[in-house]
């Protein structure tokens, strides 16, 4: 069925991304709750049908690891994209505040003295393993069943629901849509693999690199980086700054690849946070990330794309084998994400607005 705006009842805003806002809506004819993303475009109307045709492939993206697509339509210069509503929100709300320099304001934080510093993700190894395996299955599905890369793997594009499912959204199936998006972001966190950064234009725009040169292993890099960010509770590279707009990109290309944090990097403050939120089975002195988890991440973050692990290798890795053999309760994680999502969204909008003015 084709969805249009008249069939939808707008409910609350779910979040705000770099390209537009996401709202919860009710589709009256079916009584299905959906998430509707509004993306502002800069294009002439002759391209609209081409974009809708390219988006049609999304109807075939049916997998337990991919957020279901219900349909898209245009109103004036915006495309409205309707998808499965994920009631836990994005995994980024659990851990990842912009540039990792911003966390809960002191009044909202449970951790004494943690004024605007990063807080760690309150996850155990088995939770991280389930997130990693779901993301890998999703990416492998896109490649093997639809023949597409994701191109934008990052924590905000990993959504959870209260049934404990972890799914990917926002993958780039439409080259025309990608080229037409009115990008409002200045200064953001890059999840691009080194080879993608090296291959893109010196103007700093990623447009030219879209749909050229790099291959699916670039998504493997972004997968590894997302897992590191979720585990660390912050984006692991330095922010772009006004003085050095390339600080982050040069660290990705020239620096050492990040990994899961060492156990001694789990600070006392972090321990207080774990106990205060009552989430993690982690105790002081107890190993947090397994050697298998560390190795899995290392295989994703090999700087030379040819040596990086494939999806098949990642899925056969001992960390993923262990994941298949254990029951993992993700529902608490999803419930926590859903509580933090509105707060995350407010902080993100605030930071994006500040960045637009001060470009930090
Ligand atoms: P970005 O541009 O950073 O990828 P999006 O615009 O895709 O962000 O989404 C912004 C926020 O909206 C997400 O971080 C998430 O909290 C929320 N969101 C997006 N899609 C959904 C969905 N299908 N269900 C529930 N919440 C969603």
pLDDT digits (tens, 9 = 90+) for 77-87: 888 999 999 99
pLDDT at 223 over 90: yes
Residue nearest to atom 25 of ligand 1 (CA): 86
Q: Binning pLDDT at 50, 70 and 90, where does residue 40 land?
A: confident
Residues at CB less than 6 angstroms from ligand 1: 14-19, 22, 35, 37, 67, 83-86, 89-90, 92, 156-157, 159, 169-170, 341, 345
Within the chain, residue ranges assigned H as helices are 48-55, 92-95, 125-146, 175-180, 194-199, 217-232, 247-254, 268-277, 291-300, 311-316, 318-325, 331-358
Query: Which pLDDT value is given to residue 278?
Result: 45
What is the percent of the chain with per-residue pLDDT over 70, rounded to a whole number? Answer: 74
Beta bridge partners of 36: 23, 82
Query: Which pLDDT value is given to residue 130?
Result: 97
Query: Which pLDDT value is given to residue 120?
Result: 42
CA–CA dist 220, 308 (Å, integer) = 8
Residue ranges at the known binding site for ATP: 37
Q: What is the mean pLDDT of residues 138-142?
A: 96
Query: Which pLDDT value is given to residue 95?
Result: 67
Query: Which pLDDT value is given to residue 113?
Result: 33
CA–CA dist 263, 274 (Å, integer) = 14
Q: Binning pLDDT at 50, 70 and 90, where does residue 171 land?
A: confident
Atom of ligand 1 nearest to the CA of 154: 4
What average pLDDT is seen over the chain? 80
Query: Which pLDDT value is given to residue 343?
Result: 66
Residue nearest to atom 3 of ligand 1 (CA): 17
The most confident of 93-107, 151-165, 171-185, 337-351, by mean pLDDT? 151-165
Q: What is the mean pLDDT of residues 15-27?
A: 87
Query: Which pLDDT value is given to residue 280?
Result: 44
**Which residue pairs, CB below 8 angstroms and at least 24 apart, start in 148-152?**
148/57, 148/172, 148/173, 149/215, 149/216, 149/218, 149/219, 150/219, 150/222, 151/210, 151/218, 151/219, 152/191, 152/222
pLDDT tens-digit readout, 102-121: 333 333 333 333 333 344 44
Residue nearest to atom 27 of ligand 1 (CA): 89
Name which of 45-59, 131-145, 316-330 the model is least confident about: 45-59
Query: Which pLDDT value is given to residue 175?
Result: 73
Instruction: Please choose from 14, 34, 96 the residue to mutate so as to test ligand 1's pocket, defined by most ligand atoms within 8 A of CB.
Output: 14
Q: What is the mean pLDDT of residues 202-226?
A: 71
pLDDT at 26 over 70: yes
pLDDT at 17 over 50: yes
Query: Which pLDDT value is given to residue 105?
Result: 36
How far is ligand 1, taken at its centre, from the CA of residue 101, in Å? Answer: 21
Query: Which pLDDT value is given to residue 94?
Result: 72
Residues designated as active site:
152
Token code pair at residue 191: 């999840």
Q: At what angle do helices 291-300 and 318-325 cross, to 10 degrees?
A: 130
Are 89 and 77 spatial neighbours (Cβ–Cβ below 8 Å)? no
Atom of ligand 1 nearest to the CA of 87: 25
The most confident of 151-160, 173-182, 200-209, by mean pLDDT? 151-160
Q: Binning pLDDT at 50, 70 and 90, where does residue 258 land?
A: very high
Query: Which pLDDT value is given to residue 213?
Result: 62
How far is ligand 1, taken at its centre, from the CA of residue 202, in Å? Answer: 29
Q: Binning pLDDT at 50, 70 and 90, where does residue 239 land?
A: confident
pLDDT tens-digit readout, 290-303: 999 999 999 999 99
pLDDT at 236 over 80: yes
Atom of ligand 1 nearest to the CA of 157: 4
Report the b/e string of 244-273 with b at 16+ CB within 10 A. eeeebbeebbeeebbbbbeeeebeeebbeb
Q: What is the mean pLDDT of residues 222-227?
A: 97
Query: Which pLDDT value is given to residue 214?
Result: 74
How far is ligand 1, taken at its centre, from the CA of residue 277, in Å? Answer: 24
pLDDT at 339 over 80: no
How far is ligand 1, taken at its centre, from the CA of residue 36, in Å? Answer: 9
């Amino acid at each position: 069925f084709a969805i249009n705006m008249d069939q939808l009842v707008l409910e609350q805003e779910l979040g705000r991304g770099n390209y537009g806002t996401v709202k919860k809506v009710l589709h009256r004819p079916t009584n299905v709750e959906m998430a509707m993303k509004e993306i502002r475009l800069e294009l002439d109307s002759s391209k609209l049908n081409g974009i809708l045709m390219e988006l049609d492939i999304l109807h075939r993206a049916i997998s337990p690891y991919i957020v279901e697509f219900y349909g898209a339509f245009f109103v004036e210069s915006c495309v409205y994209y309707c998808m499965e509503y994920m009631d836990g929100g994005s995994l980024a709300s659990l851990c990842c505040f912009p540039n990792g320099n911003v966390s809960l304001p002191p009044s909202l934080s449970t951790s004494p003295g943690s004024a605007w510093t990063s807080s760690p993700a309150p996850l155990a190894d088995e939770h991280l393993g389930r997130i990693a395996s779901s993301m890998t299955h999703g990416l492998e599905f896109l490649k093997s069943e639809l023949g597409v890369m994701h191109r934008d793997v990052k924590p905000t594009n990993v959504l959870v629901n209260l049934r404990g499912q972890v799914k990917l959204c926002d993958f780039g199936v439409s080259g025309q849509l990608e080229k037409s998006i009115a990008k409002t972001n200045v200064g953001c966190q890059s999840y691009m693999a080194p080879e993608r950064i090296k291959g893109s234009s010196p103007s700093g725009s990623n447009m030219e690199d879209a749909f050229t040169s790099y291959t699916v292993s670039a998504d493997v890099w972004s997968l590894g980086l997302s897992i590191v960010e979720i585990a660390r509770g912050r984006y692991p590279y330095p922010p772009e700054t006004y003085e050095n707009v390339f600080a982050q990109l040069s660290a990705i290309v020239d620096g050492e690849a990040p990994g899961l944090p060492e156990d001694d990097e789990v600070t006392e403050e972090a321990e207080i946070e774990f106990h205060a939120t009552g989430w993690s089975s982690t105790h002081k002195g107890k190993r947090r990330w397994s050697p298998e988890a560390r190795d899995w991440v290392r295989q994703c973050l090999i700087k030379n794309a040819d040596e990086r692990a494939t999806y098949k290798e990642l899925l056969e890795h001992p960390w993923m084998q262990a994941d298949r053999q254990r029951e993992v309760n993700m529902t608490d994680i999803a419930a926590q994400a859903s509580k933090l999502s509105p707060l995350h969204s407010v902080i993100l909008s605030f930071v994006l607005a500040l960045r637009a003015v001060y470009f930090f």
